[in-house]
């Protein structure tokens, strides 16, 4: 009788084949990353000409003023100090700015890819007045050119601005001009000229709409800023320096309210330098708009509040996470085959391990391919069902028993069901996974407690017959 290899060698060989299958698993992971990059490119193409992630700021009253600037120059080898009269800009934030935004999401598709865009309708009111202690800022009031003041609104991607933007000052509608936004919006936006005496307050009401995608960021400026947002989008993401003081989220949409004071901002109402763009997180980055509209120096970055329109389920991240569990699928299935081989007497060849592992890897390719078309859940059911049926039928031939094949099929159903639970319960994935591994190890240890891993079955049978 031919001598068979020892159970220990079979275990080693099955593990070696499992390690070889790590190569196609890594290739599936790379394929998922490549498809995600293609999706990002397609989404960027969809949003082209519509409007990017938007940053809005303002209104802010910009007042020119003159001041003396001392310069030291060298003439004929001699240093000379002289005083030059220069014009600069003063940035006056409102005492109060109350803004409301109606955020209407829209889905646009290109081939199998989809992008979430939005149209935002902004409306609000603001009140401006020179502070009573204006003299403390070191700028003589008579140096202000109030007749040349400008009321500026910043929007980072002005391509998205829609028609019918309106601004009224003390009840009078004013003509709007393009450009001259604020540094926080990349000097992009629109403005209107203001002829102000500085003695009476300015009451401003405004309304404008714009298009964008992915996120909307509001930069608060003023003594008191309130921002109310409502939308039909059911899965918002709140980020930035200020979170909502109140929020309501349901399947029908969300509403939120931000309230920010200048004490929280750490900003004065009067600034000699404009504030720069906010440092946004979470991938919501406003485009930097090159502009020479303002030669004013820019101070530090602005603080901001961001609302992102995120997809409820990111199928590529779901596929990526599922691929990371591919080794568990291969390991558990190979272990079941090994137990039938070592304990049950069924002979499983190396090629049969390899073909079974190829089927398990194919599940993740099918999951990625179908998820892009029919969604992750249906793709998971389709791919899981197809591979379970295929490997169950193949196991019946390999293990020479439909009863054993049904055990393999039940194992695969359990694995796919467990993986789906792990993907949806991310916070408890490690706990559930570790408990399942403990149970599996305990079962294997119990089932193999009498096996001599170094003995050869053929030698055992020969010695038994000789006795």
Written as one string, the DSSP assignment of 286-340 is PPPPP--S--S-EEEEPP-EEEEE--S--HHHHHHHHHHTHHHHHHHHHHHHHHH
Separation CA 118–CA 229 (nearest Å)? 13
As a whole-number percent, the residues of the chain with pLDDT over 70 amount to 83
**Same domain assignment for residues 154 and 27:** no
Give the pLDDT confidence of 211-265 residue by residue, as tens digits.
988 889 999 998 999 999 999 998 888 988 889 999 999 888 899 999 999 888 8
**CATH code, domain carrying 152:** 2.60.40
Work out the percent of the chain whose per-residue pLDDT is above 90: 18
Same domain, yes or no, for 19 and 67?
Answer: no
Cis previous bond, 256, omega within 30 = no
Q: Let me know if residue 142 belongs to a domain.
A: yes
Does position 285 have pLDDT exceeding 50, yes or no? no
E-strand ranges in 129-184 read 149-155, 166-169, 172-173, 177-182
pLDDT at 462 over 50: no
pTM: 0.69
Instruction: Point out the domain boundary residue: 309, 324, 357.
Output: 309
> In this structure, are 319 and 302 located in the same domain?
no
Domain extent for 192:
52-71+87-309
Rounded to 5°, the CA angle 285-236-188 comes to 35
Domain final position from 243, 276, 309: 309
> What is the distance between the alpha carbons of residues 20 and 99, in angstroms, rounded to a whole number?
60
Q: Does residue 243 fall inside a structural domain?
A: yes
Q: What pLDDT is attached to residue 295?
A: 41
Asked if 466 contacts 458 with a C-beta cutoff of 8 angstroms, the reply is: no
Q: Which of 17-31, 235-249, 283-297, 452-466 has the highest mean pLDDT?
A: 235-249
Burial category of 262 from C-beta neighbours within 10 Å (exposed 0-12, middle 13-18, buried 19 and up): middle
Residues 305 and 403 both lie in one domain = no
Evaluate whether residue 461 is within a structural domain: no
pLDDT score of 280? 67
pLDDT computed for residue 5 by the predictor: 64
Q: Judge if 138 and 251 occupy the same domain.
A: yes
303 plus 401 within the same structural domain: no
State whether 252 and 115 are in the same domain. Answer: yes
Which residues are 115's β-sheet partners? 108
pLDDT tens, position by position, 305-321 = 999 887 766 777 778 77
Asked if 218 and 278 count as a contact pair (C-beta separation under 8 A), the reply is: no
Is residue 236 domain-resident?
Answer: yes
Residue 442 lies in a domain: yes
Whole-angstrom distance, CA of residue 391 vs CA of residue 353: 11
Give how many domains the chain has, as a whole number: 2
197 and 319 fall within a common domain: no
Q: Please report the pLDDT score of residue 449 as a whole number.
A: 67
Residue 65 in domain: yes
**Which of 125, 432, 139, 72 is CA-nearest to residue 273?**
139
Q: Which of 58, 191, 181 is nearest to 126 (CA)?
A: 58
* Final residue belonging to a domain, choices 279, 309, 339: 309
Q: Are residues 344 and 441 in the same domain?
A: yes
| Assigned domain for 464 exists | no
The reply to whether 428 falls in a domain is yes
Q: Are residues 339 and 287 in the same domain?
A: no
Asked whether residue 215 falls in the same domain as residue 356, the answer is no
Asked if 184 contacts 275 with a C-beta cutoff of 8 angstroms, the reply is yes
Whether 329 and 231 map to the same domain: the answer is no
């Amino acid at each position: 009788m031919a001598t068979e290899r020892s159970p220990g060698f079979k275990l080693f060989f099955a593990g070696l084949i499992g390690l070889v299958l790590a190569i196609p698993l890594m290739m599936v992971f790379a394929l998922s990353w490549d498809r995600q990059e293609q999706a990002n490119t397609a989404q960027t193409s969809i949003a082209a000409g519509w409007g990017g992630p938007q940053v809005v700021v303002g209104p802010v009253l910009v007042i020119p003023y003159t001041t003396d600037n001392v310069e030291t120059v060298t003439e004929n080898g001699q240093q000379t100090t002289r005083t030059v009269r220069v014009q600069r800009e003063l940035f006056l934030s409102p005492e109060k700015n109350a803004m409301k935004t109606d955020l209407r999401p829209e889905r646009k598709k290109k081939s199998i890819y989809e992008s979430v865009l939005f149209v935002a309708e902004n409306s609000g009111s603001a009140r401006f007045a020179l502070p009573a202690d204006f003299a403390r800022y070191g700028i003589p009031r008579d140096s202000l050119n109030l007749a040349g003041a400008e009321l500026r609104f910043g929007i980072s991607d002005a391509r998205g601005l829609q028609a019918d933007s309106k601004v009224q000052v003390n009840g009078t509608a004013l003509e709007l001009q393009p450009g001259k936004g604020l540094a926080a919006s990349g000097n992009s936006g629109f403005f209107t000229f203001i002829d102000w005496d500085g003695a009476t307050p300015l009451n401003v009401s405004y309304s404008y709409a714009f298009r964008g995608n992915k996120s909307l960021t509001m930069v608060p400026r003023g003594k008191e800023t309130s921002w109310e947002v409502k939308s039909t989008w059911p899965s918002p993401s709140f980020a930035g320096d200020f979170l909502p003081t109140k929020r309501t989220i349901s399947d029908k949409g969300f509403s939120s309210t931000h309230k920010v004071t200048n004490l929280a901002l750490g900003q004065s109402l009067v600034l000699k330098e404009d504030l720069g763009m906010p440092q946004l997180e979470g991938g919501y980055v406003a485009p930097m708009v090159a502009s020479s509209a303002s030669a004013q120096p820019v101070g530090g970055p602005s603080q901001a509040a961001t609302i992102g329109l995120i997809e409820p389920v990111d199928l590529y991240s779901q596929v990526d996470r599922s691929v990371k569990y591919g080794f568990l699928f291969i390991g558990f299935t190979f272990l079941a085959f090994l137990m039938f081989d070592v304990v049950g007497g069924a002979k499983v060849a190396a090629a049969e391990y390899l073909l079974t592992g190829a089927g398990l890897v194919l599940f993740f390719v099918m999951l990625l391919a179908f998820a892009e078309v029919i969604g992750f859940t249906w793709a998971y059911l389709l791919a899981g069902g197809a591979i379970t049926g295929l490997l169950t039928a193949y196991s019946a031939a390999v293990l020479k028993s439909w009863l054993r094949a049904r055990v393999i099929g039940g194992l695969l159903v359990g694995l796919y069901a467990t993986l789906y639970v792990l993907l949806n319960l991310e916070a408890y994935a490690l706990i559930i996974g570790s408990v399942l591994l403990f149970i599996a190890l305990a079962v294997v240890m119990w089932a193999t407690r009498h096996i001599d891993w170094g003995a050869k079955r053929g030698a055992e049978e020969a010695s038994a017959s000789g006795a």
